[in-house]
Amino acid sequence: MNQPSHPTPITLITGGSRGLGAAMALALARSGHDVLITYRDAAEAAQGVVARIEALGRRAAALPLEMAQVDGFPAFVQALQSQLAAWGREQLDGLVNNAGAGLHASVAETTPAQLEQMWRLHLQGPFFLTQALLPLLADGARLLNISSGLTRFTVPGYAGYAAMKGAVEVMSRYQARELAARGIRVNTLAPGAIATDFGGGAVRDNAQLNAFLASVTALGRVGEAEDIGGAVAALMQPGAAWITGQRIEASGGMFL
């Protein structure tokens, strides 16, 4: 007797045009998801990610989104609904709040404008985007908020950035509690040092910094974008259904 078929899961990843977001999108596509990504201004790069996903036999689309501007969220939700409708669907099965930017400034040097931008981008944006998308999240969906290893260990110069990521981790626990009645699982993934262009590409391009970070990492190297993509794909699979309200660090064992 034939088993009933289940719709292909659809996951939205913010900030998916490059770096970790692109790696997440590709890993999810390889694990059987159709993927929607957002981009701020890198439309060409985003379309390149879409093409790579489609080459894997999955559906993909890229939508513009400025995460720091909450007044643009209603228009984004409408565009998302239109894209879902084009695929014959009404809801998302997953959301990964990944979009962000770094800030390197000491406690003494951080300006109010810098801290406000970190707040808008890393806390206010994901908080209200998730709120706006609640009607589009299917019961049993997976929500993953991206934090940072810098909430556990300290590296001078990242107080403003890490403080907002710490707030993201608290937000995730509240979301997990309040959305549990709908079967929505909410977790935080905290990457360690990753060799991408994030923060000017210092981890990737500064050999001395790269060597130091590898020396304080149990697995003996800095991370690659694919390491985080694989972790995201694992947390979005059915086998992770009993994990919610947790902070999972993917750092190769930094500063153990």
| DSSP string for residues in 104-146 | ---TTT--HHHHHHHHIIIIIHHHHHHHHHGGGEEEEEEEEEE
> Which one-letter amino acid corresponds to residue 156?
P
Q: Which helix (H) or strand (E) holds 34?
A: strand 34-39
- 164 and 109 in contact (C-beta within 8 Å)? no
Helix (H, G, I), strand (E, B) or coil at 91: coil
Determine how β-strand 34-39 pairs with β-strand 137-146.
Answer: unpaired
Q: Which two tokens stand for residue 164?
A: 């907002």
Q: In the chain, how long is the greatest CA-to-CA distance? A: 68
Q: How far is it, in rounded angstroms, from Cα 100 to Cα 32?
A: 26
The residue behind tokens 């509240």 is 174
DSSP classification of residue 15: S
Helix (H) or strand (E) holding 252: none
161 is catalytic: yes
- Angle at alpha carbon of residue 87, lines to 59 and 54, rounded to 5°: 10
Query: Which of 39, 158, 161, 174 is an active site residue?
Result: 161
Q: Sheet holding 60-64: strands in order across?
A: 60-64, 34-39, 10-13, 92-97, 137-146, 185-191, 247-250
Active site amino acids: 161
